[in-house]
Amino acid sequence: MMAFNRFAMPLGDRRSLTLAATALTVLLSACSGSSPSPDVPDSGNSAGSSAPVTDPGAPPVADNANERVAGNYCYQLEEDTISGTARIQLEPDSSLTGHLAAVIQDNVNNYYTSYRQTLTGQLTGTQLQLAVVTDIENSVQDSVETWTWEGDRLETENEVYTQVDCAQLPPVADGSGEIDFEPITREFPVQFAPGTSSTVVENAVIRGERDVYVLAARANQIMTLSVSALEDNARMDVESPSGALLEQEASQSRITLPETGTYRISVGGTRGNASYSLAIEIR
């Protein structure tokens, strides 16, 4: 018992220690902010659950990834040989309309084309039952197709498109519902071999695109141009350094140049894609 009593504490000291511990507990509670606070009615806007900010271009949001609410949805495809965009407008009754546009450019097989599709149909679960009108190379084709619309993927019969913010896609022309595409242009400098003032360029352009050839020339020089294609479906425009249109939709031209500067020769197809030969001469 003597060993135990060596560690006994006088009553007064125990009371002092109890009071000190109580004071320390109160002080730590105040510093940590864990002291009780009066009840505050839930306003529904507590920290971490603020009301979401709506992005006008963002797709509508449903509780289930495969559940669709009425609204506009946009999709995009970017691969080595094909690129495209699609827009779908879904109505509350699950009917829908939409447009798809794509460009195919297979340099290995020398194949180029583009097409647009108009879509009407009905959504059932994740299946789109569609009437599709395809405009390709000056030909219109009607078909009935079943596409899959699941998560952020739109699967056509041949390709898979990924959902994007509609603000990322080209604008829609007012009132038409069609996707409004600016012509795609490729620019090439014209180079003459040393000691010559003429050249012949062999190239191909797909529907909806333009190849632009640029060259410097002086006022009063004569520029002779000729463009030909196997299917006679290539034409050219000629623009002066000041922006004046000197020729439009021409296959041949001979122009006395009005000013010194950079001239632009723009070649495009009149029907579908065009493989062409462009002859340029400056005298």
> What would the pLDDT profile of 160-218 be if each residue is shown by its tens digit?
999 999 888 765 544 444 444 455 678 999 999 999 999 999 999 877 688 999 999 99
Q: Which residue from 131, 57, 59 is spatially nearest to 90, judged by alpha carbons?
A: 59
* Whether the predicted pLDDT of 50 surpasses 80: no
* Whether the predicted pLDDT of 65 surpasses 60: no
> What would the pLDDT profile of 181-196 be if each residue is shown by its tens digit?
455 678 999 999 999 9
pLDDT class for 256, splitting at 50, 70, 90? very high
Contact 76, 162 (CB under 8 A): yes
* Whether the predicted pLDDT of 61 surpasses 50: yes
| Range with the largest mean pLDDT of 29-38, 60-69, 70-79 | 70-79
Percent of the chain predicted with pLDDT > 70: 68
- One-character DSSP codes across 125-165: TTEEEEEEEEEETTEEEEEEEEEEEETTEEE-SS-EEEEE-
- Cα dihedral: 216, 217, 223, 226 (round 10): 0
Contact 171, 180 (CB under 8 A): yes
As a whole number, mean pLDDT of residues 130-139 equals 84
pLDDT class for 106, splitting at 50, 70, 90? confident
Cα–Cα distance for residue pair 53/47, rounded to 1 Å: 15
SS3 243: coil
Cβ neighbours of residue 104 closer than 8 Å, sequence gap 6 or more? 81, 82, 111, 112, 113, 114, 206
* pTM to 2 decimal places: 0.47
As a whole number, mean pLDDT of residues 6-21 equals 41
Considering the domain 184-282, what is its CATH architecture?
A: Sandwich (2.60)
Contact 97, 119 (CB under 8 A): yes
Strand runs (DSSP E) across 29-109, as ranges?
71-78, 82-90, 95-106
State both tokens at 61: 């949001």
